[in-house]
Structure 1
């Protein structure tokens, strides 16, 4: 593991839908994304999908709402 690599604590949401490519993973920032993660999970469940939520440090994850460049 590179010493320059940074990780971000995330909600890792594994989810399935009833489409042919129905499995995917979505990341939400642990510090700022709890409501977004909850909303996303509710939307998946409302469409008949299933979710599995984990909390992990994700190497190389980028927060799209961060003001740093």
Structure 2
């Protein structure tokens, strides 16, 4: 796949991969529907900021929707 700086960012993000909704409406809106299947997501922040709790909530929502690994 050739990537050009002239392509709009939205076109680079909307590939034909399934979208996995996080169950968090605002996050899903920012992510254009949710996480792209087979993508890597990195949460970062200071110790104690809530990264693990945030990730566990997303995982619980995804599993609750019936998605499996």
TM-score (norm 1): 0.34
TM-score (norm 2): 0.34
Q: Which gives a bigger RCO, structure 1 or 2 (Cα 8 Å, sep 6+)?
A: 1
